[in-house]
Amino acid sequence: MKTLRWATRLIIIALLIGLVSMFPGRGLAAYPEKGLTLIVAYGAGGGTDTTARLLAADLSEVLGQSVTVRNVTGGGGWNGWGTIARSRPDGYTIGYINLPNMFTVYLDKRIGRPESLNSFTTIINHVTDPCIWAVKADSPFKSVNDLITYAKANPGELSITAHGNGSDDHVAILSMQEITGTGFKIIHNTSTAISKTQVLGGHVDVLGGNVSEVVALAKKGELRVLGVMSEQRSEFLPQVSTFREQGFDSVWAVSRGIAAPADLPADIRNKITTSLEKVLRSEEHRAKAATLGLKIQIITGDAYATFLKNMEQNVKNLMGW
């Protein structure tokens, strides 16, 4: 009887092995078996949205599944980032995290939001986009120094756009106010597209944004970029001097990376990371990114974790959190 039971078990095991070999795509190794959602915490038309739509098209080709961009705006970005954090950690919902923007709210103890970096599985940095200040082409301001000189003489009169408390645009403004002893009227918007409309319409004096968001308008002669907050001049705006070249030690940028909910299984994380690296290292993707003024900076693994922690500490120091 025992011999018969063992024989029966062996037959069942053999049948199961045969079924697995016949349908190799049914296990976890088959990921992804359906389309992915890519969350963007800002509105359509801004730098993150543009970056996401570029990535979605190329990542879809590598994965063999659709990658759909979903804009979840509001809450200073945390409506979108919260959506990522609360999603099922199965690899089918990923999204952009914007640094230093995402450190706001959860670092501010007065708000008490429960999320932190530990709420995410951080995967890879995609692009680093330096901050800029720009004005309408017919503005009397020709340089950052012109702007600061006027701001000192007329405290609180000049208006400038930003995109949420503690966002890259906002901390850049706070840094410049601290360096120069000036004060600006800061106008917070949910997307750079809105901010550009305000500046071009003459409703706001200065656009606080990023290189990729102004390259096209600068080339058309509709915006004048006064300075770039980077170590070196941007390859996309080579004629524009840095803030440091103009005597202001201010270097700020937004870093746009990809994250998933916490507790993402290691094999799925590895598959996503490998696929993203393949996209980001391809000459085709880099060429398309360059046409949009996007500078790719790949950071993964422990290096990315350290990068995030260091930036988090810098924001803590500046914001007094």
The per-residue pLDDT for 5 is 54
The per-residue pLDDT for 8 is 54
The per-residue pLDDT for 314 is 81
| Domain end among 228, 245, 268 | 228
Mean residue pLDDT across the chain: 89
Evaluate whether residue 41 is within a structural domain.
Answer: yes
Evaluate whether residue 26 is within a structural domain.
Answer: no
Q: Which residue has the tokens 């200065």?
A: 206
pLDDT greater than 50 at residue 22: no
Instruction: Check whether residue 221 and residue 274 sit in a common domain.
Output: no
Structure tokens at 95: 């999204």
The per-residue pLDDT for 76 is 78
Instruction: Check whether residue 222 and residue 282 sit in a common domain.
Output: no
Instruction: Check whether residue 122 and residue 265 sit in a common domain.
Output: yes
Sign of the Cα torsion 44, 170, 294, 145 reads positive
Instruction: Check whether residue 201 and residue 263 sit in a common domain.
Output: no
Instruction: Check whether residue 267 and residue 123 sit in a common domain.
Output: yes
Residue range 139-186, pLDDT digits in tens: 999 999 999 999 999 999 999 999 877 788 998 999 999 999 999 999
Q: How far, CA to CA in Å, does 229 sit from each of 14, 239, 248, 250, 257?
A: 64, 14, 9, 6, 20
Instruction: Check whether residue 87 and residue 110 sit in a common domain.
Output: yes
Instruction: Check whether residue 116 and residue 165 sit in a common domain.
Output: no
Evaluate whether residue 237 is within a structural domain.
Answer: no
User: Which of 13-17, 117-121, 159-163 has the weakest average pLDDT?
Assistant: 13-17
Count of domains forming the chain: 2
Evaluate whether residue 40 is within a structural domain.
Answer: yes
Contact assessment for residue 147 and residue 172, using Cβ atoms and an 8 Å cutoff:
no
Mean predicted confidence (pLDDT) in 217-232: 97
d(CA 276, CA 270): 10
- At 63, the pLDDT band (50, 70, 90 cuts) reads very high
Number of CB atoms found within 10 A of residue 140's CB: 8
Q: Which residue has the tokens 């917070």?
A: 188
Report the CATH number at residue 152.
3.40.190.10
Instruction: Check whether residue 56 and residue 87 sit in a common domain.
Output: yes
- At 91, the pLDDT band (50, 70, 90 cuts) reads very high
Instruction: Check whether residue 219 and residue 79 sit in a common domain.
Output: no
Evaluate whether residue 53 is within a structural domain.
Answer: yes
Q: What is the dihedral of CA 90, 93, 98, 100, to 10 degrees?
A: -40
Residue range 195-206, pLDDT digits in tens: 999 999 999 999
Evaluate whether residue 283 is within a structural domain.
Answer: yes
CA 236 from chain centre, in angstroms, equals: 19
Q: How far, CA to CA in Å, does 129 sit from each of 59, 220, 229, 243, 311?
A: 21, 20, 10, 15, 15
The per-residue pLDDT for 104 is 75
The per-residue pLDDT for 113 is 80
pLDDT greater than 70 at residue 14: no
Candidates 231, 228, 233; CA nearest to 213 is: 228
Report the CATH number at residue 299.
3.40.190.150
Mean predicted confidence (pLDDT) in 112-135: 93
d(CA 59, CA 252): 28
Contact assessment for residue 127 and residue 256, using Cβ atoms and an 8 Å cutoff:
yes
Mean predicted confidence (pLDDT) in 33-46: 93
**DSSP collapsed to 3 states, the chain:** CHHHHHHHHHHHHHHHHHHHHHCHHHCHHHCCCCCEEEEECCCCCCHHHHHHHHHHHHHHHHHCCCEEEEECCCHHHHHHHHHHHHCCCCCCEEEEEEECHHHCCCCCCCCCCCCCHHHEEEEEEEEEEEEEEEEECCCCCCCHHHHHHHHHHCCCCCEEEECCCCCHHHHHHHHHHHHHCCCCEEEECCCHHHHHHHHHCCCCCEEEEEHHHHHHHHHHCCEEEEEECCCCCCCCCCCCCECCCCCCCCCCEEEEEEEEECCCCHHHHHHHHHHHHHHHHCHHHHHHHHHCCCCEEEEEHHHHHHHHHHHHHHHHHHHCC
Sign of the Cα torsion 121, 213, 280, 32 reads positive
pLDDT greater than 50 at residue 27: no
Mean predicted confidence (pLDDT) in 122-129: 95
pTM here is 0.76
Instruction: Check whether residue 124 and residue 155 sit in a common domain.
Output: no
Evaluate whether residue 7 is within a structural domain.
Answer: no
pLDDT greater than 80 at residue 243: yes
Mean predicted confidence (pLDDT) in 275-293: 95
Instruction: Check whether residue 104 and residue 178 sit in a common domain.
Output: no
Instruction: Check whether residue 118 and residue 39 sit in a common domain.
Output: yes
Candidates 194, 197, 213; CA nearest to 254 is: 213
- Higher per-residue pLDDT: 209 or 103: 209
Evaluate whether residue 85 is within a structural domain.
Answer: yes
User: Which of 7-11, 88-92, 275-279, 287-291 has the weakest average pLDDT?
Assistant: 7-11
Range of the domain at 186: 142-228
The per-residue pLDDT for 17 is 46
